[in-house]
Chains A and B, each alone.
Chain A
Amino acid sequence: MTRWGMVIDLDRCTGCGACVVACRQENNVPVASEDDYYKGRNLDWIQLARHVDGEYPNTQVRQYPFLCMQCDDPPCIKVCPVGATYRDEEGIVGQIYYRCIGCRYCTSACPYSVKVFNWKKPTWPDGTDRRQNPDVSIRSVGIVEKCTFCHHRRQRAKEVARAEGRELNPSDYVPACAEICPAGAMVFGDLDDKGSDVHRLAEDPRALRMMEELGTKPKVIYLKRVAEAKK
């Protein structure tokens, strides 16, 4: 069974922010104004979260690329009264934009606070609406949206594979953030595929899952040097 997951190597990540920009472009995420950004109204599906590791004076500031953890047991899908958020058979947690009623129960129940809400009608300044990705729908005001591991790309890859009469090749489908990462810090693939890089890295001694103790079984796995993690 396929189980899509991502490994982010924090020891490789330079904090350049290319993943954030790629995500915005790929998924038609409107760019928040400065004012909205400081109000906490930005809609980024992935953002760089600054985190201080260690205790003073042995500290290190890191930028965590922070996105939906794509939990195997997501707290958000249980609480949705209309079933607008779901986990598909390949483990991707998605959102049905045309069903969401905007009650924001999922956003309040998510321990990672990674789901975002459309506070207002999206605006597309300077003709950016002409550069929208036709594969991703524009979300309306008043609904919740989230990282989908760019599952429209999986759809397209599957269609191409079917047209060519072959099985889906693991390298056919990569989300925009992992594709763009110049440092090669983001590795995407099938966690259940024993031969995949992502499977091997997920077993790495440096691997850590965010708030594993909550039992959400996240499929986004971070790698961090062990010595530092212990500190």
Chain B
Amino acid sequence: MNGPIATTAPAPIETEHERALFHHIRHTGRGFKILSVVLALIAAWGLTAWIWQLTHGLEVTGLFRPVYWGIYITNFVFFIGVSHAGTLISAILRLSKAEWRRSVTRMAEVITVLVLFFGAGNVIIDMGRPDRAFYVLLHPNFRSPLLWDVCAISLYLTASTIYLFLPLLPDIARLRGKIGGWRERVYRALSFGYDDTPAQRGKVEKAINILAVIVLPIAISVHTVVSWVFAMTIQPMWHSTIFGPYFVAGAIFSGIAAILTFMVVLRKVFKLENYLRPIHFDYLGRLLLVMTLLWFYFTFAEHITTWYGNEGHEMKVLSAKLSGPYSPFFWAMVATCFVIPMSILCRRSTRSIRGVLIASISVNIGMYLERYTIVVPTLVNPRVHLTQALYSPSWVEWSILAACISAFILLYMGFTKLFPIVSVWEVEEGMRHGPRETAERIKTFLPEEEEKKRTCTTETQREGSAETQRDMGEEKRAGAVAEAVAGAGADAEGGNK
């Protein structure tokens, strides 16, 4: 609990932010320990359930002919969707130079990398012969959307792991010699000789920027290909051209919701109030609101075309969703994905941290229901009705779902015991250079002429010709920049405090 810190070597001097953000690495609370044990037990139970399934075959699931896919494939689509939280959002924020990103990016990127294992893992759990999974490498059939998935997801996992690791390097360099114990060895191994010299730092920053550009199309491709697993078949309500963008929008939607949920929890548990401030939740809440509307638009467009077209087989699936056995799930999805987040997020007064938390949890539940109502009703209502039965998942499937979520949270908690969940160097860099850089950037947005008129001395302006004015402009502008920097810096500071 309050373990001896650096008893062997004298502790190097720590900055204020290092002290605050390394705190959760050093100190493990009682709640943390209890929660880890509980989560580990659930994960172990899920592992038992999987072993049970491996020994008995998929007989132990609730699946049957023709409902060959159920909870596992829903998990796969959902977890891959949640993975869009980190890398995609973080890359967009980095590329658009959003200063407020600095304390958010790390905690988001970790979600991506960790949740991807469970996304891809659920496909393996779903397989009848997981021992043959490597056959996709031995006998690949490149016409299969599932093989496109294998390619896209492995590329995505690689790219987002590097994208998590690179911004971690400067922090690992800072952690060396400060935590001690077995972790010191981990840091030494992971730093690969990185000492955070200015030259090295420059290279890392450049690499991060390049990777942020590369990772965007990869992330978009991943969920597009996931949607094509369904859309490329000719099954009713799967064979839809908008599935690609619909799934990507849904993925970003559930991704933002996942980040927000984690942010609220981490803020509370690790006392990060100084780093995750109401403005972060407000901005991400607005983004979530935009995605809520986009989600509604896509869902509406998808269902209205089916309904208007009134094609027999498609209508069977649609009516199963709207008024049939899957209507509770469908309407719960509409409530949790649209009505609840929309009504909370559209007003400034309710877009508080608590409001955002409720909205994001609601969206997470809703997006799971969405994936479920995409996967299952189509299979329950095939073109040929040989069996009249409804799919209900078995205890094995529920256990594995619970275990996936628990193991994911457990791994995330493990990460916080090794690395700071807020990027220390990025926050410090933001404190040092952020206000000036932002102010300079803002200068470039503003019209120059107006600027001159305001700052030029009245005399020269009245008498001077166009030429003299241009000459004068250079000098004056330099002065004006300095002035604006001071002003904006003060603003930014005011905002930070």
B384 adjacent to A101 (CB under 8 Å): no
Partner-contacting stretch, out of B64-72, B78-86, B241-249, B360-368: B64-72
**Number of residues on chain B facing chain A (CB within 8 A):** 43
B146 adjacent to A117 (CB under 8 Å): no
Is B144 part of the contact surface with A, judged by Cβ < 8 Å?
yes
Is A154 part of the contact surface with B, judged by Cβ < 8 Å?
no
Partner-contacting stretch, out of B107-115, B226-234, B447-455, B460-468: B226-234
Partner-contacting stretch, out of A4-12, A18-26, A107-115, A170-178: A107-115
Which residues of chain A (95-109) have a CB below 8 Å from chain B?
Answer: 99-105, 107-109
Determine the chain A residues whose CB is within 8 A of the CB of B379 once the complex forms. 108
Interface residues, chain B, with chain A CB atoms under 8 Å away: 56-59, 63-69, 123, 126-130, 132-133, 135-136, 138-141, 143-147, 150, 229, 232-235, 379, 382-384, 386-387, 389
Q: Give the distance in Å from the alpha carbon of A41 to the alpha carbon of B56 in the complex.
A: 14
Q: Give the distance in Å from the alpha carbon of A144 to the alpha carbon of B57 in the complex.
A: 13
Q: Give the distance in Å from the alpha carbon of A228 to the alpha carbon of B373 in the complex.
A: 37
Is A231 part of the contact surface with B, judged by Cβ < 8 Å?
no
Q: Give the distance in Å from the alpha carbon of A128 to the alpha carbon of B232 in the complex.
A: 42
Partner of B383, one of A47, A100, A101, A211: A211
Which residues of chain A (2-59) have a CB below 8 Å from chain B?
Answer: 39-42, 47, 49
Q: Give the distance in Å from the alpha carbon of A177 to the alpha carbon of B379 in the complex.
A: 28
A81 adjacent to B57 (CB under 8 Å): no
* For the complex of A and B, 8 pairs with smallest distance between CB atoms: A102-B128, A142-B128, A40-B64, A113-B66, A120-B59, A83-B141, A40-B387, A104-B68
| Chain A facing B: main interface SS | loop
A112 adjacent to B384 (CB under 8 Å): yes
- Evaluate whether A103 and B383 lie within 8 angstroms (CB atoms) in the complex, with A40-B64, A40-B65, A82-B139 already known: no
- Evaluate whether A79 and B233 lie within 8 angstroms (CB atoms) in the complex, with A49-B384, A143-B128 already known: yes
Q: Give the distance in Å from the alpha carbon of A43 to the alpha carbon of B57 in the complex.
A: 15
Determine the chain B residues whose CB is within 8 A of the CB of A116 once the complex forms. 65
Q: Which residue of A lies closest to B150 (CB)?
A: A81
Q: Give the distance in Å from the alpha carbon of A75 to the alpha carbon of B238 in the complex.
A: 14
Partner of B135, one of A78, A82, A108: A82
CB distance from A59 to the nearest CB of B (A): 16
Determine the chain A residues whose CB is within 8 A of the CB of B389 once the complex forms. 39-40
A118 adjacent to B128 (CB under 8 Å): yes
| Most chain A CB within a 10 A radius of its CB, from B69, B132, B145 | B132
- Evaluate whether A103 and B146 lie within 8 angstroms (CB atoms) in the complex, with A82-B135, A108-B379, A211-B383 already known: yes
| Most chain B CB within a 10 A radius of its CB, from A42, A113, A117, A210 | A113
Determine the chain B residues whose CB is within 8 A of the CB of A41 once the complex forms. 59, 64-65
Q: Give the distance in Å from the alpha carbon of A42 to the alpha carbon of B59 in the complex.
A: 11
Q: List 8 A-B contacts (CB under 8 A).
A: A39-B64, A42-B65, A66-B384, A82-B135, A101-B130, A102-B132, A109-B235, A141-B57
**Number of residues on chain A facing chain B (CB within 8 A):** 43
Determine the chain A residues whose CB is within 8 A of the CB of B138 once the complex forms. 82
Partner of A105, one of B56, B129, B146, B383: B146
Q: Which residue of A lies closest to B134 (CB)?
A: A101
B126 adjacent to A103 (CB under 8 Å): yes
- Evaluate whether A78 and B384 lie within 8 angstroms (CB atoms) in the complex, with A101-B127, A107-B65, A142-B128 already known: no
CB distance from A34 to the nearest CB of B (A): 14
Q: Give the distance in Å from the alpha carbon of A102 to the alpha carbon of B127 in the complex.
A: 5
Determine the chain A residues whose CB is within 8 A of the CB of B233 once the complex forms. 75, 79, 108-109
A108 adjacent to B235 (CB under 8 Å): yes
Q: Which residue of A lies closest to B391 (CB)?
A: A40
B235 adjacent to A104 (CB under 8 Å): no
Determine the chain A residues whose CB is within 8 A of the CB of B140 once the complex forms. 81-83
A49 adjacent to B56 (CB under 8 Å): no
Determine the chain B residues whose CB is within 8 A of the CB of A114 once the complex forms. 384
A117 adjacent to B129 (CB under 8 Å): no
Q: Give the distance in Å from the alpha carbon of A99 to the alpha carbon of B123 in the complex.
A: 17
Is A230 part of the contact surface with B, judged by Cβ < 8 Å?
no
Determine the chain A residues whose CB is within 8 A of the CB of B129 once the complex forms. 100-102, 140, 142-143
